[in-house]
Amino acid sequence: MTTRYNHYIGGEFTPPASGKYFDSTNPYTGEVWAQIAEGNSEDVDRAVSAARSAFGEWKRMTPTARGKLLTRLAELIEENSAHLGEIEVRDNGKLYEEMSGQTRYMAEWYRYYGGLADKVEGAVIPTDKANTLNYTRYEPLSVVAMITPWNSPLLLLSWKLPAALAAGNTVVVKPSEFTSASTLEFAKLFDEAGFPTGVFNVVTGDGRNVGAPLVAHPDVAKIAFTGSDVAGAAINAAAAKDFKPVTLELGGKSPNIVFADADLDAAVSGVISGIFAASGQTCIAGSRLLVEESIHDEFVQRVIDMARTAKIGDPMSRETQVGPVTTPAQFQKVLDYIDIAKSEGATPVLGGKPYEGEGSSGGQMVEPTIFTDVDNSMRIAQEEVFGPVLSVIKFTDEEDAVRIANDIDFGLAAGVWTSDIGRAIRMTEELEAGTVWVNTYRSVSFTSPFGGYKRSGIGRESGSEAIKEFLQTKSVWISTSPHRGNPFVLR
Ligand code: NAD
């Protein structure tokens, strides 16, 4: 029995204009479990029109009232987190243990921006002009398009959606064609929370037939995108034609840097969580392990020993530590990169092939894989694999570590493991990355800005400054002068 999902437009679940549906497959079992509406530009038009019609009422609602609705939505997310987590696992194969926590935690973003909605204050600006009042107002943009990837569909949507709604925008979302179901289950909560219809809309389908027309739609004022740098570049170019602002959260090839003076037990665990959690399918994966030469062999052996104990299997089981890779294409891509690493001369010291042991089920499983003797110029060190593949690179000293870490087009995140506080601070200053972790890895919060340097993106999500990504500033001038000046002279 498969479940059939329609678009969510203007508060209704509506069938696609094409009348067609495509399959959604469980990556662990390989079975088709859902059918998703195959959208096209006609559906995009309908969704943008619904969002545009809802914009007037939504922006005129007081920020306090918008905030209350977001807070109510946060409560409903918490009540439904187990169900939403289960849908995500069925669609993307990540561990239920992680996804159920994630779907619960994402409620905090709605609560945070719900609270922030009525705290975005303009300023009265003292100017050099006599008898004038000048102040700023922050105003919404109108319809914001959001395009999300398959790896954590609801959490990544939640990093942008509540900020945009709190700011007074209405939204059309296109989730990944591989993981659309959870966004549609989530859409049901909007009606229950009491949002006006059309404030939130979902159109499903692929990048070419839904994503591209959504980006190009004349009534879409901004695009907030999370995904690969390749799609991000195409979206950025298309948006630039119409001067539309973008927020781009893109890929990474983050260095996890271990100095000889680090607490090595903590570092081993941080390295494992950086690359093998979520089978390496996270933008912040610490996929380049930089190890100080003097501890290289001992440290790598400890990482191998811990990685070898990982229980691979059914993502719904609480014991499983490494689950499947989400899509057949991604599975092949990971295997191709393993071949590339071997052909480049890297040494495979763990894994390196599809997992076929106990708990494999015909789905797309890859063994946790580690390569040593990696040079930073190799493709396996420079390109995002988005799978459970770790490249180990040696460094000689602090300066060498910084040079290697920054010698890359990406700049999403970096980890540093050291017990020297001076070194820790120097490293946080030198590393070219939007997030730097010291003696920890993978921490994120609704309170703290997240985003990339270099090819990892444009703009920031989360934290109080991110709401400005969905607002535009208006400067208002009011004359208080009883006199009229010379109209032929600009003052
Ligand atoms: P992807 O770029 O292939 O697809 C992402 C979304 O963009 C999908 O919904 C897709 O349909 C759509 N799309 C593709 N081409 C498009 C186009 N030309 N116009 C409009 N829409 C288009 O990425 P993916 O494979 O789904 O996700 C993995 C990537 O996402 C990795 O590179 C990963 O690093 C990145 N990611 C980044 C972050 C972050 O916060 N920086 C978080 C998670 C994932």
Q: Give residue-wise pLDDT tens across range 477-490.
A: 999 988 888 888 87
CA dihedral (430, 433, 438, 439) positive or negative? negative
Taking only the tens place, the pLDDT of each residue in 354-391 is: 998 888 877 788 999 999 999 999 999 999 999 999 99
Test site for ligand 1: of 226, 448, 456, 469, most ligand atoms within 8 A of the Cβ: 226
Mean pLDDT to the nearest integer, 196-211: 98
pLDDT at position 97: 86
* Type of residue at 340: I
Taking only the tens place, the pLDDT of each residue in 110-135 is: 999 999 999 999 999 999 999 999 99
Taking only the tens place, the pLDDT of each residue in 13-43 is: 999 999 999 999 998 888 999 999 999 999 9
What's the CA-to-centroid distance between 341 and ligand 1, angstroms?
Answer: 24
What is the number of the ligand 1 atom nearest to the C-alpha of 456? 41
Check residue 199 and report its DSSP letter. Answer: S
| DSSP H or E run through 135 | strand 132-140
**Alpha-carbon distances of 138 from 110, 356, 465, rounded to whole Å:** 20, 56, 13
Cα–Cα distance for residue pair 138/275, rounded to 1 Å: 40
Domains observed in the chain: 3-250+456-475 (3.40.605.10), 255-438 (3.40.309.10)
Angle made by CA atoms 324, 329, 333, in degrees to the nearest 5:
85
Are the beta carbons of 48 and 172 closer than 8 angstroms?
yes
pLDDT at position 382: 98
Cα–Cα distance for residue pair 457/465, rounded to 1 Å: 16
| Residue 465 annotated to the active site | no
Taking only the tens place, the pLDDT of each residue in 427-446 is: 999 999 999 999 999 999 99
Under 8 Å CB-to-CB from 428, ≥6 apart: which residues? 416, 436, 438
Q: Tokens for 370, please give them.
A: 């580690």
Cα–Cα distance for residue pair 262/214, rounded to 1 Å: 48
Cα atoms in the Cβ-side hemisphere of radius 13 Å centred on 214: 35
Q: Are strands 32-37 and 3-5 parallel, antiparallel or unpaired?
A: parallel
Edge-to-edge order in the sheet of strand 246-249:
12-14, 7-9, 200-202, 170-174, 143-147, 220-226, 246-249, 457-458
**Alpha-carbon distances of 207 from 175, 234, 386, rounded to whole Å:** 9, 11, 19
Mean pLDDT to the nearest integer, 249-266: 98
pLDDT at position 94: 86
What's the CA-to-centroid distance between 399 and ligand 1, angstroms?
Answer: 34
State the residue for tokens 């918490």.
Answer: 78
Buried b (16+ CB within 10 A) or exposed e, 264-299: beebbebbbbbbbbbbbbbbbbbbbbbbbeebbeeb
Cα–Cα distance for residue pair 293/309, rounded to 1 Å: 25
pLDDT at position 491: 62
3-state secondary structure of 479: strand
Q: Which of 47, 46, 40 is nearest to 210 (CA)?
A: 40
Residue nearest to atom 34 of ligand 1 (CA): 251
In the chain, the percentage of residues whose pLDDT exceeds 70 is: 100
Among 38, 185, 283, 469, the active-site one is 283
- Report helix angle 107-116 to 96-105, nearest 10: 10
What is the number of the ligand 1 atom nearest to the C-alpha of 384? 32
Residues in the chain: 491
Q: Tokens for 205, please give them.
A: 């389908």
> In whole numbers, what is the pLDDT of the chain averaged over residues?
96
State the residue for tokens 């159109």.
Answer: 203
pLDDT at position 487: 84
pLDDT at position 319: 87
Taking only the tens place, the pLDDT of each residue in 294-330 is: 999 999 999 999 999 999 988 888 888 988 888 899 9
Under 8 Å CB-to-CB from 300, ≥6 apart: which residues? 291, 349, 370, 372, 392
Mean pLDDT to the nearest integer, 247-273: 97
3-state secondary structure of 316: coil
Cα–Cα distance for residue pair 336/206, rounded to 1 Å: 24
Residue nearest to atom 26 of ligand 1 (CA): 149
Residues in contact with ligand 1 by the CB-under-6-Å rule are 147-151, 156, 174, 176-177, 206-207, 211-212, 215, 226-228, 231, 234-235, 249-252, 283, 384, 386, 412, 452, 457
How far, in whole angstroms, is CA 62 from its chain's centroid?
A: 29
Residue nearest to atom 20 of ligand 1 (CA): 211
* Type of residue at 80: N
